Amino acid sequence: MTEQDIKKGLAGVVVDTTAISKVNPETNSLLYRGYPVQELADTQSFEAVAHLLWHGELPSDAELEALQRQERGDRALDPLTRELIDRSPVTAHPMDVLRTAVSATGADDPSADDASRESDLDKSVRLLARIPAMVAYDQRRRRGQDIVAPRDDLDFSANFLWMTFGEEPEPVVVDAFRRSMVLYAEHSFNASTFTARVITSTTADLYSAVVGAIGALKGALHGGANEAVMHLFDEIGEASNVSAWLETALAEKRKIMGFGHRVYKHGDSRVPTMRAALDELVEHYGAQDMLALYEELEREFVRAKGIHPNLDYPSGPAYRLMGFDTPTFTPLFVAARITGWTAHVMEQAASNALIRPLAAYDGPDERHVPGAEG
């Protein structure tokens, strides 16, 4: 086996087919079940997009109503999950708390090992409904605030904001949040989705696959980047500091978070839609200084390296303006991507083959433990 045979990071390797989404870096497009993600973000509720990813078609009015009824009825945290969140130290990263809470929800579900599609769909709706309650409660308890009960009269996005902040959210904020959820929902065989598929390929249950995917998403090269973008903004401070800061960062060969992508090399197709949502939030909150820093860093970094922003670049500042704490940003990504992950779990289970690649061994040649020869 030569160096060329080894596809480090599986770059460029096609490992299976999928009917869930199509990423085309040439045309800079992302389709969910054939629909451009921008059109979905402009016109559909997040629940309708979840139905599309799971079932392959946009829902009829009756189907959407049924999904919304089920989702609204499944939002309350079970006592075990609530207790585990309460007992987690506030020094733990919210992704660690969320990973634990999802695992507890699986342990609490007697149908966890029922691998039928019907049962997996129920589990998917349960996680769609419960993850916002976990994320919202974890942020609140860190601020010394009480849990806020979900509201049946609010849809997924508005209820998420309600449970986090305990206030009726403004329509412009709900709309920006909804769009971010749609844009984050699915992205083919990214690292966390592939992790979920690997776990499913062993016939382990859906909760195990999701817990593994949360672990994969935490890293700064994947979902952790939306949070890391804000650490950069805090470090830079204001637009006038960008030039000097970037010069030093590039000299130190630092990675600039929120830029670059394994698949998109000419720009991320989701960025313009999220940027439009960010612009509306900037207008709403009067946050022109933050936008000036955003634009300056983008202009300078693209000029220096020709590497374009990915979705995490506009979503980080958008989540900060909405009022989320920075470490909560990656859990928000989980709340959205749970739809794509579970769609992939069900697709993998429907035509399964154990995922088990090979490695080229480059350790010591065969040798013997002293005293064991012959």
Catalytic residue among 120, 138, 205, 261: 261
Nearest approach in angstroms of CB 307 to ligand ACO is 5
186 contacts: CB under 8 Å, gap ≥ 6: 20, 21, 32, 53, 193, 337, 339, 340, 343
260 part of the interface to ligand ACO, by CB under 6 A = yes
Binding mask 294-313 for ligand ACO (x = CB under 6 A): -----------x-x--xxx-
345 part of the interface to ligand ACO, by CB under 6 A = no
Q: Which is nearer to ligand ACO, 72 or 187 (CB)?
A: 187
Q: Which contiguous run of DSSP H or E holds residue 168? A: none
In this structure, the chain runs to a length of: 374
Nearest approach in angstroms of CB 44 to ligand ACO is 20
Catalytic residue among 55, 93, 108, 222: 222
262 part of the interface to ligand ACO, by CB under 6 A = yes
314 part of the interface to ligand ACO, by CB under 6 A = no
Catalytic annotation present for 312: yes
**In 3D, which of 246, 242, 250, 232 has the Cα closest to residue 329?**
232
> DSSP state, 92?
S
Minimal CB distance to ligand ACO: which residue? 260
Q: Which is nearer to ligand ACO, 45 or 310 (CB)?
A: 310
C-alpha triplet 149, 90, 164: angle, nearest 5° = 25
Q: Which is nearer to ligand ACO, 68 or 190 (CB)?
A: 190
Q: Which is nearer to ligand ACO, 212 or 223 (CB)?
A: 223
Q: Which stretch binds ligand ACO (CB under 6 A): 82-90, 142-150, 254-262, 353-361?
A: 254-262
> DSSP state, 59?
P
Q: Which contiguous run of DSSP H or E holds residue 374? A: none
- Residue 113 one-letter amino acid: D
Is residue 71 classed exposed, middle or buried when 0-12, 13-18 and 19+ CB atoms within 10 A define those classes?
buried
- For residues 292-302, one letter each, b for 16 or more C-beta atoms within 10 angstroms of the residue's C-beta and e for the rest, the string is ebbebbbebbe
Q: Which is nearer to ligand ACO, 25 or 166 (CB)?
A: 25
Among 177, 233, 259, 341, binds ligand ACO (CB under 6 A): 259
How many chain residues bind ligand ACO (CB under 6 A)?
17
Nearest approach in angstroms of CB 130 to ligand ACO is 23
Residue position matching structure tokens 């770059």: 11
Among 225, 335, 336, 343, binds ligand ACO (CB under 6 A): 225
Nearest approach in angstroms of CB 221 to ligand ACO is 4
Catalytic annotation present for 153: no
Distance from the Cα of residue 82 to its chain's centroid: 22
Nearest approach in angstroms of CB 262 to ligand ACO is 4
- For residues 334-361, one letter each, b for 16 or more C-beta atoms within 10 angstroms of the residue's C-beta and e for the rest, the string is bbbbbbbbbbbbbbbbeeeeeeeeeeee
346 part of the interface to ligand ACO, by CB under 6 A = no
Tell me the β-bridge partners of 309: 259
Catalytic annotation present for 51: no
Token pair, residue 265, equals: 């090399």
Q: Which is nearer to ligand ACO, 165 or 329 (CB)?
A: 329
Q: Strand pairing of 29-32 and 21-24? A: antiparallel
Token pair, residue 16, equals: 């299976």
Q: Helices 171-184 & 156-165, crossing angle to 10 degrees? A: 110
266 part of the interface to ligand ACO, by CB under 6 A = no
316 part of the interface to ligand ACO, by CB under 6 A = no
Q: Which is nearer to ligand ACO, 69 or 255 (CB)?
A: 255
120 part of the interface to ligand ACO, by CB under 6 A = no
Q: Where do contacts with ligand ACO occur on this chain (CB under 6 A)?
A: 221-223, 225, 255-262, 305, 307, 310-312
Catalytic residue annotation: 222, 261, 312
